[in-house]
Amino acid sequence: MMGRRGLSSLNLTFLGTASAQPSLTRNHSALALRLNSDVWLFDCGEATQHQVQRSKVKMGKIEKIFITHTHGDHIFGLLPLLASMLNGAGGTADGVEDPRIHMAQNSPDPIEIYGPFGTRAYVRNGLKYTHTLLGAPYVVHELRLPSDPPDGDYISLALHAFESPNGRNIPQTNGVWSDVYHDTIVSVSAAPILHSVPCIGYVITEAPVPGKMDPAKYIPHLKRTKTPMSIMSCLQQGESIELSDGTMLQGPLKRPGRKLVILGDTYDPSPIAELASSADLLVHEATNAHLPALDTHTKAEDTFESVEARTKSRGHSTPQMAGAFAARIEAKQLVLNHFSARYPGNDDVEPTAKTIMEGIARLAEEHYSGKITCARDFMSFDVDVLPQEHA
């Protein structure tokens, strides 16, 4: 697992930005979050492993996979990816022992999968009935709603040979799942969001980070008292140091770490609003839009109101709805995602596609004044720490 001392790099790479059906320019949903060199995936639609291979994301660095919901366009790529990641290709003839069984028994920490009720059964059934063996273990943690059974998996199959028995069924507390994962550097919490099936939004929060330090405020005191300069590392962490002459030096106060909110499909993410407050970046779906002057597929009878009503009836959002939620939680940046196949994903090279995606962004701007980006496959950018004055 990760032995991070801090996050020098936090990067998002969109591997798939389509909704329902893929197109020639958009693959099914998947997003890679790179924490230094480690990788966490959020959703894993069909052909995600192909997208990983075409990107700069390293498959061997994937540690965790977070599933928002079990619709196929968000999970059908999970089993093939596991097979590729964990040496799952091929098998052995009758009477021949597969050496991977012993490899798995001596493997380090398993690949962790988080998802709603049903994720564990889906993975176990899929591996069982495709006769898939693996060369390393995995574990599934399910985020259980109050309406879900607290125990059991609704599956009669025994654990897969490579499935860790340590999978947790995580109950809600006060309507959210707090710290489903955490270490000293980063934590993940989650909350349900409203869709046509149980769906989850995830909040990734970096622990408070050291403030920016002005060495000139400390070095003269250290030299005067002949204190080792190695003390600067303690001050950088915000510690208080008493020098030999009684002088107290206080390192810069820590500042909040970065917060990312990654939502699954939703027509109303209100249950996650408090948890998502003041996000540095919000990823929100925008499946359908009314673009009468730009989209040739626009129906004559359509209006902004009718498109929103139809979109919500299918469990999804428009750009205006995404913009309104970004404003509500005071997000610093909004990334629109999960677009209908009618909206092409080659707007970086095709003028008509660019015009359409700019039109979608303008709809979100009606309700949100921050930075707006329309995601496309393989778009990648760093989530930077905001500048701070010297302490």
Residue type, 162: F
Q: Choosing from 43, 73, 280, 377, which is the catalytic residue?
A: 73
Q: Does residue 73 carry a catalytic annotation?
A: yes
20-31 CB burial, b ≥16 within 10 A, e <16: bebbebbbbbbb
Task: Indicate the length of the chain as a whole number.
Answer: 391
CA distance linking residue 122 with residue 361, whole number of Å: 36
Residues classed as catalytic: 73
